[in-house]
Amino acid sequence: MDIHKVAVIGAGVMGAGIAAHIANAGIPVLLLDITTPTLDKLLKADPAPLMHPKNARLITPGNIDDHLAALRDCDWIIEAIVENLAIKQELYRKLATVRRADAVVSSNTSSIPLHELIAGLPDDFAAHCMITHFFNPPRYMRLLEIVSRAQTDQDALAKISYFCDHKLGKGVVTANDTPGFIANRIGIFWIQTAIHEAIALGLTVEEADAVIGKPMGIPKTGVFGLSDLVGIDLMPHLMHSMKHSLPAGDALLEKANIPPVIQTMIDTGYTGRKGKGGFYRLN
Distance of alpha carbon 155 from alpha carbon 164, whole angstroms: 14
Q: Of 48-56, 95-103, 153-161, 227-235, which segment contacts ligand NAD by CB under 6 A?
A: 227-235
199 binds ligand NAD (CB under 6 A): no
Q: Of 27-35, 153-161, 208-216, 243-251, which segment contacts ligand NAD by CB under 6 A?
A: 27-35
| Binding mask of the shown chain, residues 126 to 165, with x at each position contacting ligand NAD by CB under 6 A | ---------xx-----------------------------
* Least distance from ligand NAD to the Cβ atom of residue 2, Å: 25
Rg (CA), the chain: 19
87 binds ligand NAD (CB under 6 A): yes
| Binding mask of the shown chain, residues 28 to 47, with x at each position contacting ligand NAD by CB under 6 A | ----xxxx-x----------
83 binds ligand NAD (CB under 6 A): yes
Q: Using CB under 6 A as the criterion, which residues of the chain lie in contact with ligand NAD when the complex forms?
A: 9-15, 32-35, 37, 64, 80-83, 87, 91, 108-110, 135-136, 230-231, 234, 274
